[in-house]
Amino acid sequence: MRIDVVSIFPSYFDGLTLSLLGKARDSGILDLHVHDLRDWTHDRHRTVDDTPYGGGAGMVMKPEPWGLALDDLTAGLDTRPTIIFPSPAGELFRQSTARELAHREHLIFGCGRYEGIDERVFEYASTLGDVRLMSLGDYVLNGGEVAVMAMTEAIGRLIPGVVGNPESLVEESHEDGLLEYPSYTKPSTWREREVPPVLLSGNHGAIAAWRREQQIERTRQRRPDLLAE
């Protein structure tokens, strides 16, 4: 998979070279490129923002650098990329979204800052690729960078070969619409706290049933919205 990220803070993404995704990059499974939006400006101050038409607080990202960046990153492609703009005004990014996007050949992430990007950029981008505005949840971040880090990690670990043991993917929170069951390791007694006896029983059927109950009970307590779905 190829991933291009456009940001005015490219060094945010240095962290993606570490750990799991770093290994995926080194092995060639993940071809990640981070770009500085200011490389597509042509004025002395490398300006990327301006005041909003109609007035109001804050600044808006100018369309011109975004247009040039998208032109360059989509020139000569033989497949249509998916172009994702992180935004608190977007659709919710969920595990099902990550699963879907993990199958795409080419993702382009455009990180907005300030009060957002000139709306025409999204229309223009849709002439070059399949555009998605995606939100992590109902709270506001200062810009898209942290959101793109999260989305890239969620997507990247689902690409075949990135997570060493694919079985570790299927029993996680959200993979089956429920939260994960609790996990324990040795010692069996720690500071007067016992591991649930069923896990020491060797009875695989009983263990599976207990884990399922735990998943349902936790989901009911912590995320009743998921059970309703």
Q: What distance in Å separates the CA atoms of residue 185 and residue 92, rounded to the nearest whole number?
A: 34
Question: Is 129 one of the binding residues for ligand 6GU (CB under 6 A)?
Answer: no
Q: Which residues sit in the known binding site for S-adenosyl-L-methionine? A: 112, 136-141
Task: Map the footprint of ligand 6GU across residues 72-91, applying CB under 6 A.
Answer: 86-88
Task: Please give the distance of CA 7 from its chain centroid, rounded to a whole number.
Answer: 15
Q: What are phi and psi of 61, to 5 degrees?
A: -70, 130
Give the shortest CB-104-to-ligand 6GU separation in angstroms. 18
DSSP β-ladder status, 189-190 and 193-194 = antiparallel
Q: Least Å distance between CB 154 and ligand 6GU?
A: 12
Q: Give rounded-to-5 percent helix, strand, coil for the chain.
A: 40, 20, 40
Q: Give the closest residue to 143 by CA, choosing from 111, 108, 107.
A: 111
Would you say 149 or 162 has its CB closer to ligand 6GU?
A: 149
Candidates 24, 83, 98, 136: give the one binding ligand 6GU (CB under 6 A): 136
Q: Which is nearer to ligand 6GU, 48 or 136 (CB)?
A: 136
Given a contact cutoff of 8 angstroms between Cβ atoms, the answer to whether 152 and 109 are in contact is yes
- Contact, 180 vs 119, CB < 8 A? no
Task: Give the number of residues in contact with ligand 6GU, rule: CB under 6 A.
Answer: 13
Residue 53 in the binding site for ligand 6GU (CB under 6 A) = no
Stretch that binds ligand 6GU, among 42-50, 59-67, 133-141, 163-171 (CB under 6 A): 133-141
Return all residues near 30 (Cβ < 8 A) that are at least 6 apart: 1, 3, 21, 24, 156, 159, 162
Closer Cβ to ligand 6GU, 65 or 86, answer by number: 86
7 binds ligand 6GU (CB under 6 A): no
What minimum distance in Å lies between the beta carbon of 76 and ligand 6GU? 29
The Cα 6–Cα 1 span in angstroms is 17
Rounded CA gap, 87 and 186, in Å? Answer: 43
Site membership for ligand 6GU, residue 137 (CB under 6 A): yes
Per CB under 6 A, 108 contacts ligand 6GU = no
Q: Binding of ligand 6GU at residue 110 (CB under 6 A)?
A: no
Interface residue list for ligand 6GU (CB under 6 A): 86-88, 134-137, 139-141, 143-144, 147
